[in-house]
Amino acid sequence: MREQFDNIIDVTLACPDNVESPFKDMFVGRMQRIVVKVNVLSVDDQVLGDYFGDKQFKRQFQLWLGDLWNKKDKELDKLYSE
């Protein structure tokens, strides 16, 4: 991946004022606010490896990705509770 990309763009979208039906609200013009959070992540050893051929790398990558999603969930929980 490093040969093609230097960074990973991590984007989180939230619609804190339209929790019940954000897509419907967007289509009918009732969207109040959209929050966009963008993080730039380095392409480093955590994301470089043979996902399909190296079980240890695959497990480490899954843990890294799971941690990223947990952080996103915490950010969203904080946004939605404000």
What are the tens digits of pLDDT across the range 4-47?
Answer: 888 999 999 999 999 899 999 999 999 989 999 999 999 988 89
Domains: count for the chain: 1
Q: What is the reported pLDDT for 52?
A: 95
pLDDT(1) > 70? no
Would 31 be classed as within a structural domain?
yes
Quote the domain boundaries for residue 37. 7-81
Return the pLDDT at 77.
Answer: 94
Rounded mean pLDDT of 57-65?
96
Domain-located, residue 2: no
3-state DSSP helix/strand/coil percent for the chain, to nearest 5? Answer: 40, 20, 40
Pull the structure tokens for residue 28.
Answer: 């009918």
